[in-house]
Amino acid sequence: MSRLLAVLGAAAAPALIWVVTVIGFGHHLIVYAKDPPLDVNVVVVVLLALVSALLGWLLLAVLERLTRHARTIWAAVALAVLVLSFALLLDPGTPLSTRIPLGLMHVAVAAVLVPVLYATSGARSKASSNWRSAASR
């Protein structure tokens, strides 16, 4: 249940940043990497965060079935994905006033999701290793 709540929280956190940026400050988030420019609305923000969080959970679940080092591998992959996600913000046509909130959204998703999935992985890895040893008898 805590993993599901983490996924939902990871979708809600960037939505809150979007609300503060767009509604609170009146700044529309527009990415000029494509033609025509992409207007980043709250639906896009929530869906991308939700899909990313679910993929992270799926990766952790698969790793827990395959290795005893699932938590460590997953944490390294999660950190690498976060760092690589910032490359999307390097487009010179996108104003800094859009890059900052988008970068904060990336960090917000990771800040909510990574600690919970990491913390819940220890107990699950032990359970899955017990399952594997029972299945091999």
Domain that includes residue 54, residue range: 2-129
Helix (H, G, I), strand (E, B) or coil at 68: coil
Count of Cβ atoms closer than 10 Å to residue 38 Cβ? 14
pLDDT of residue 46: 97
The string of pLDDT tens digits covering residues 54-81 is: 999 999 999 999 999 999 999 999 999 9
pLDDT reading at 130 higher than 70: no
Q: Is the residue at 134 inside a domain?
A: no
Write down the mean pLDDT value for the chain.
Answer: 89
Mean pLDDT along residues 31-57: 91
CA distance 137 to 130: 11
Mean pLDDT along residues 95-113: 95
Domain count, the chain: 1
Q: Write the single-letter amino acid at 48.
A: L
Mean pLDDT along residues 16-21: 97
CA distance 2 to 124: 12
Q: Is the residue at 72 inside a domain?
A: yes
Mean pLDDT along residues 40-52: 96
Q: Is the residue at 75 inside a domain?
A: yes
pLDDT of residue 35: 79
CA distance 92 to 101: 16
Q: Is the residue at 135 inside a domain?
A: no
Q: Are 60 and 53 in contact (CB under 8 A)?
A: no
CA distance 43 to 23: 14
Q: Are 124 and 103 in contact (CB under 8 A)?
A: no
Closest to 115 measured CA to CA, from 64, 67, 75:
75
Q: Is the residue at 137 inside a domain?
A: no
Q: What are phi and psi of 30, to 5 degrees?
A: -125, 125
